[in-house]
Structure 1
Amino acid sequence: MNKLIAMLLLAFVGLSACANKLPSKEEIMDKMVLTNAYLMKKWPDPGVNVITNRERPSNLWTRAVYYEGLMALYALNPDQKYYDYAVTWGEAHNWGLRNGVETRHADNHCAGQTYLDLYEMDAQPERIRDIKASIDLMMETEKIDDWDWIDALQMAMPVFAKLSVITGDQSYSQRMYDMYMDTKVAQGLWNPEDQLWWRDKDFLPPYQEPNGEDCYWSRGNGWVVAALVRVLEILPEDDPHRDEYQNTLLQMLEALVPLQREDGFWSVSLHDPSHFEGPETSGTALFVYGMAWCVNQGLLKEKKYKPIITKAWNAMVNDAVHPNGFLGYLQGTGKEPKDGQPVTYTSKPDFEDYGLGCFLLAGSEVYRMAK
């Protein structure tokens, strides 16, 4: 009996050690390839319309976020089929935007992120035509309050930043800053006290979660983390507003540290984990993406943040990724903790693609951290 107990204790210690250790690069890549293969198999033709509660073209924001992740995977694993899959998607839509070039909606601009990435790889003018035309129409006006929900920052800010770099015209990056600051300050969606963002005006005080705390939606704050990371990656070091983006990102990540759950995930409601309690993959992945990127850039101390990142990454790959690559614990589309519920290991969200995009973005930076 004593021998059996000793063996069980050793096994438990071994499992705990594995849970606290960052996997190898090969293991991380295997999970990225597995989850991506699941979606590519499910959608062999990336141009077909997406049908959920209604039919939508596949250049909508959910699929565009997936392609952000695919481009991050391709940068580490330049498999031709990944590039071809992205190009086929762009060609299927004639490199156009949902609702046309007249759209000012950030969700519709999100596809432009991958169009611009592919343009940089192969400067075919049609790849940049519509996204540039749409942003140029916005630039012809003085209106800067379009981004009245924080998800918009991730969907559109990288487009403005990339256009600024590609064209050499800093008016794009300046307009991006003006719109970002309108969201942050004029609309008041940033709370400097808690260093987190309210999703939109519907959640400004006196709105409260059941426990009396402010409502900070996990994925919404994750979108802002991703927006700031991607903008910092794109902009030159001498951009006049770089400090604003970097400081806000670091403040957010610091605020997220004590909010991590014991199981490694973050809850859908950051300040009220009992409100629709349980793990959630998309917000967790976006926080991992931001933290790992900052560690890799020397902006955060590895000694402090690597255990947090490791715990979260291992939680996702061990508890959320199914053997076939399906991602569990993924909240469906919405704007607050109650949307897309229930969120479980086997629950299927209305859209699966954006969750995979978040996971691939996280994996790309965790991969760079691994030895």
Structure 2
Amino acid sequence: MPFASKQQVLEVLRSTNTYFMEKWPDTGKPIYTTRWRPSNIWTRAVYYEGLMALYAIDPDRRYYDYAVDWGTKHQWGLRNGVETRNADDQACGQVYLELYELDKQEERILAIKKNIDFVMHSGKVDDWTWIDAIQMAMPVFAKLGVMFGDPRYFDYMYQMYSYSKNEEGGGLYNPKDKLWWRDRDFVPPYQEPNGEDCYWSRGNGWVVAALVRVLTLIPADEKNRSVYVQDFKDLMDGVLKAQRKDGFWNVSLHDPTNFAGRETTGTALFLYGMAWGINQGMLDAEVYRPALEKGWQALVDESVHPSGFLGYVQGTGKQPKDGQPVGFSTVPDFEDYGLGCFLLAGSELYKLLEDDR
């Protein structure tokens, strides 16, 4: 059976995105779970990252207008103001900066630039104490460095990344397994029930996405680029070894017994990295393409509902037991970021298929 055509990939991306846009017509509406949260938090920012990736391959004006309306409803601001140090607050900046490049209205970048400048002026580099933060904030530094031709943004983000990788909790990256612990709580002696280290699927997926987005942005001669390239290749090797036979990844990469089963978000982020790596010639297509195709087919066949709703999305949290249960019909506490991950993966896969002859 031949793998999906690019048109089939585009159709499923449109279907899942339409479901979400119709469910959330008001882009400024707060999100209620256990309490009210403004809709410019990280979960929604990740969705809009995916939407902008979809817009790049399927330039439907509705997508652009929906994203601009979101920024406008929040006055292009950050949840906790311009002196926040929380990467979850800064994630929206990735989308604001991208929208600014499409229409250079200063209001779109004032708050996020002021915030990142504030962080850099502090000299403090230990903000990213959990690996999700790397994806939420690091591409913002990269984008500002490119937009303003200022390598200080590149240098500062490298210091912050290096701190998380090598120093936080003794270093959150394990070169032996080529995977990341989510935060210091999971660095050994912490163990999973089967005695293995706890490598949370989506957390590692966030690092994959961060490296993809940063490497897409920074110049070829950026002095730390080679470090990011090697880290990306190593991480993808660690990820590849953990793929399930059905194409998905477990929530706990090295313990399939701890809240076992399919999980969409980590899977989608890993596929995003694989597709991008193949497209860039950084990953061997003969090695990674079978895993990519198996994973994408699994997502489409097992996660996507006829309505466009995505199943098997683990809710928010930091480890396998959080956001459970994870099932085909289970609605997570936030529906947005899972779709964002899916749109990122599918949009990058579409580019790969576009090159097929």
TM-score tier, shorter chain, comes to: over 0.9
What is the letter of the counterpart of residue 51 of structure 1? Y
Q: Which residue of 2 aligns with 1:69?
A: 50
What is the letter of the counterpart of residue 281 of structure 1? T
**Does 1:80 pair with 2:61?**
yes
**Does 1:236 pair with 2:219?**
yes
Q: Which residue of 2 aligns with 1:222?
A: 205
Decide which of 187, 192, 197 is 1:209's aligned counterpart: 192
State the secondary structure of the residue aligned to 1:140.
helix
Q: Which residue of 2 aligns with 1:305?
A: 288
Q: Which residue of 2 aligns with 1:136?
A: 117
**Does 1:349 pair with 2:332?**
yes
* Alpha-carbon offset, residue 257 of structure 1: 1.5
**Does 1:44 pair with 2:32?**
no
Decide which of 136, 155, 176 is 1:193's aligned counterpart: 176
What is the letter of the counterpart of residue 282 of structure 1? T
Q: Which residue of 1 aligns with 2:36?
A: 55
Q: Which residue of 2 aligns with 1:124?
A: 105
**Does 1:153 pair with 2:153?**
no
State the secondary structure of the residue aligned to 2:204.
helix
What is the letter of the counterpart of residue 321 of structure 2? K
State the secondary structure of the residue aligned to 2:18.
helix
What is the distance in 1 between the residues matched to 2:191 and 2:286? 35
Residues 258-296 of structure 1 deviation map (CA, whole Å, 9 limit, x = unaligned): 211111100000000111000000000000000110000
Q: Which residue of 1 aligns with 2:297?
A: 314
| Rg (Cα) greater in structure | 1
Q: Which residue of 2 aligns with 1:31?
A: 12
* Alpha-carbon offset, residue 74 of structure 1: 0.1
Q: Could you list the runs of 4 or more consecutive aligned residues of structure 1 that deviate by over 3 angstroms after TM superposition?
A: none
Identity %: 62
What is the letter of the counterpart of residue 184 of structure 1? K
What is the distance in 1 between the residues matched to 2:317 and 2:183? 12
| TM-score, with length taken from structure 1 | 0.94
Deviates more, 1:249-258 or 1:333-342: 249-258
What is the distance in 2 between the residues matched to 1:369 and 1:160? 27
Q: Which residue of 1 aligns with 2:95?
A: 114
What is the letter of the counterpart of residue 257 of structure 1? L
What is the letter of the counterpart of residue 62 of structure 1? T
What is the distance in 2 between the residues matched to 1:118 and 1:311? 33
5+ residue gaps, structure 2: none
What is the number of equivalent residue pairs in this alignment? 352
Residues 306-344 of structure 1 deviation map (CA, whole Å, 9 limit, x = unaligned): 110000000000100000000000000000000011101
What is the distance in 2 between the residues matched to 1:250 and 1:116? 27
What is the letter of the counterpart of residue 154 of structure 2? S
| Superposed counterparts of 1:254-293, under 5 Å | 254-293=237-276
What is the distance in 2 between the residues matched to 1:92 and 1:228? 30
What is the distance in 1 between the residues matched to 2:305 and 2:90? 31
What is the letter of the counterpart of residue 325 of structure 2? P
Q: CA RMSD in A?
A: 0.6
Q: Which residue of 1 aligns with 2:307?
A: 324
State the secondary structure of the residue aligned to 2:109.
helix
What is the distance in 2 between the residues matched to 1:201 and 1:65? 24
| TM-score, with length taken from structure 2 | 0.98
What is the distance in 1 between the residues matched to 2:204 and 2:178? 10
**Does 1:174 pair with 2:155?**
yes
5+ residue gaps, structure 1: 1-16
What is the distance in 1 between the residues matched to 2:191 and 2:16? 36
What is the distance in 2 between the residues matched to 1:140 and 1:93? 25
What is the letter of the counterpart of residue 162 of structure 2? M
What is the distance in 2 between the residues matched to 1:283 and 1:257? 12
* Alpha-carbon offset, residue 245 of structure 1: 0.7
What is the distance in 1 between the residues matched to 2:129 and 2:301? 36
What is the distance in 2 between the residues matched to 1:255 and 1:139? 32
What is the distance in 1 between the residues matched to 2:337 and 2:293? 22
Decide which of 328, 348, 354 is 1:365's aligned counterpart: 348
What is the distance in 2 between the residues matched to 1:74 and 1:289? 16
Decide which of 317, 322, 326 is 1:339's aligned counterpart: 322
What is the distance in 2 between the residues matched to 1:357 and 1:216? 22
What is the distance in 1 between the residues matched to 2:314 and 2:254? 17
What is the distance in 1 between the residues matched to 2:162 and 2:82? 24
* Alpha-carbon offset, residue 22 of structure 1: 2.5
